[in-house]
A and B are shown apart, each in its own frame.
Chain A
Amino acid sequence: MSDATAGNLSQAAAEARRDDAAQTGPMLAADGRPLKQSLNRALRAQKLRALALIAPLLIFLLVTFVAPILDMLFRSVENQIVSETLPRTVIALEDWDAEDLPSEDIYAALAYDLHAAVERRIHTRLGSRLNYEETGLSSIFRRSGRGIDDVGEGYADQFIDLDPAWEEPATWIGLMADPDWIAEQAAWAATETEAREPVFQLAPGIADLLPETADAYRSFALALQAEARNPDSPTTEEPWNTVFLALYRDLSAGAEVGAVEGPEFARAEVVRLQEAAAAVASFTPVDLRATFADIDEGWAEMPIWTTIQTFSDPYTAGYFLAAVDLQLTPSGIEVVEENQRIYMLLFQRTMVLSLTIMGLCVILGYPIAYLLSNLPLRTSNMLLILVLLPFWTSLLVRTSAWKVLLQQEGVINDLLVWIGLVADDARLAMINNQVGTVVAMTHILLPFMILPLYSVMKTIPPSYMRAAKSLGATNWTAFRRVYFPQSVPGIGAGCILVFILSIGYYITPEIVGGRTGIFISNRIAFHISDSLNWGLAAALGSILLALVLVLYWLYDRIVGIDNVKLG
């Protein structure tokens, strides 16, 4: 019996072998599916579970890390505020030669834009934005907000003098609004619902007949309806003076109001319009440039116009140029005046000081790490705690402690004077300058150098040094040729860590750096929280990020990122 079983078994095994040998093409699983497919199916659950485990962190990082970085990159070039706030002006300025003050047409476009912006209360935001490029523009916009009603007032008066009906909202509705909209609006007004008024629609054909008026009236109507708290209806409000300005300009430009007929326009409105068209020739013209100059002298000067024209694109390199001490002018890219160059100096200083700090950390950290890694475990653990101790102390406390130590009446100066190395009236300035920044930051970042060094050195067996010595190398040669090359990955890791940390350091330079020891990050913080020039802050941050990435790439090319080990 058992022999027979054994015989069957070996027969089966032989058949299986034959089958395997005969099979060609993709491997099949026992159920006949391709093996790869079965494997994927089997692994899918595992992969999903792994993904679910990291999902919270992934989402957290996307929201709090990736998204802000992308937002920052976007902000550094984004400049839509100009073209969104002054759309007509931006278009009108496209062909302006920037040699003489703009024409009346451009002032008219500005009038329409500014009035809409003032009603939406966004003109001051634009003022702040343009103020980054040209000081003083902010106040011009603020003053213009108060004076915008003066623009077109003269024409409004003359139209109303001609026919008081021009003062009536109904006159304008009849002329400008789509009859369907009027019906809808009437229905809406009758029901007294909570819902908003139907969105204003221009009458068909009016935009062709009176282009500027239609445009100006539409922005007037929409601005009324868009009021957040208590929206008004164009059916109850007299139009802005700029609408009268538009009407004057359309009519005096020779709009063919005689040809108006058909059911779209009420007869009375057409007649009134034709009367007005006949009368505009006798109207007293109002000089728009003078009106704006009355509001603010700045409107009658070149800088505000060149600035608007230069920064009219929705995306601008202006922030990046400013971040490297260049500026965009109508005549191209120029270096800013010497007394205003600050960012290149700061970038340079940040790099040089960061490299100095990194170098000092290597010099100070290497022997410590070497000692730690060669001591018995008990002792090295004790000492390692001393290395880690600073981590358990507040950064602010540590930095402030340096302030106590380094200041002119501080511990170190007192000691030097007491020893007699330094005269009492020639105490060393070691704080609120670059020395202070370098000393304090080296101290703070040293553990970030020691730890990777230590963990790499820990993995270098002592037998390498012994082997080198037994092969005839002196202590120094053995260290230089055998130990040091193997510790390079630790140096690399430590250097990257310290350098990247220090290049973005903010609080320590702020406290001990004084005027000459601050970093670029201090300037970024200033723009984020004080000047509120986020675009420039974003551009500075992006440059910093790019610098780090370039250095990382260089490091990878020279040393090889595979050689970086944290343990």
Chain B
Amino acid sequence: MSELLTGARIVAAHALRESLRRRVFFVVLGLTLAFGGLYAWGVHELFSDIDEFNGNGFLDAETLAGATILGLAMFGTLFLGVILAVFLTLNAVRGDAERGLLQPVIVRPLGRGAYLLGRWAAAAAVSASYVVVVFFGGVLLTKLFGGYTPDSVIVPALELAGAVAIISALALLGSIVLGTTANGVAVLMVFGAGLLVGLLGSIGDALDSGTLSDVANVASWVLPFEGLYRDALFQLVSGAVSEGGVTGALVQLGPLGGSHDNHALFPLFCVGYALVVGALALAAFRRRDL
């Protein structure tokens, strides 16, 4: 076990060093700052516009506006985190083997399991840290420029981190059987499909369509990053939802996927899901001739 972890640590450190040296982080930082600036401006404008709106006593405009724009920021954060996770893993096996980068490393004593674990750990650590930092930045900007504080911040941050960690595992599995471009396209399409199903689920909830809701719920288990995202949205507004009323009903619909609380065992399921994806990746990698 210690050999596995030592090998994984070496591979992860190498992958992180590569990201630093290739200035990936600088590009991401620059784009994120631009995103943050635009978001701050948007929050400021939004809350300026709703200042004079009193909701006639049945609508809490500040909660609705804050939850909506922070939910949108959460989608943006997840999307950027997924892009980062995918680009850090999409060529980990087949792509690197085709370029001749993998063979000198994989013939060393570390073993294929340690290589996969190292690549996943590096991608998951970077993308999870990224979404947590950007999410908290979004929460801070919403508070500073709009005065809105969500009902929960810790759990949504952890769920976003879990979502990108699962995407990293899926992209790593894809990298064993698919070429770089095909894998990138496939993982992003799976991610998009997950969000789309979540959106259908929220429409199903609004229209009281059991079929659409069921499809969304099944998708949450099949593609648990989507379930984590939906629950993260729910956690933002859980207090308003429990209070009910028009505000509670509107915020529950949520932006881009709708909010929905998960089963209590869902986090455990996500861990198991990632382990199964990892085991499948290892089995496929062990069978692969390089």
Decide whether A and B assemble into one complex.
no
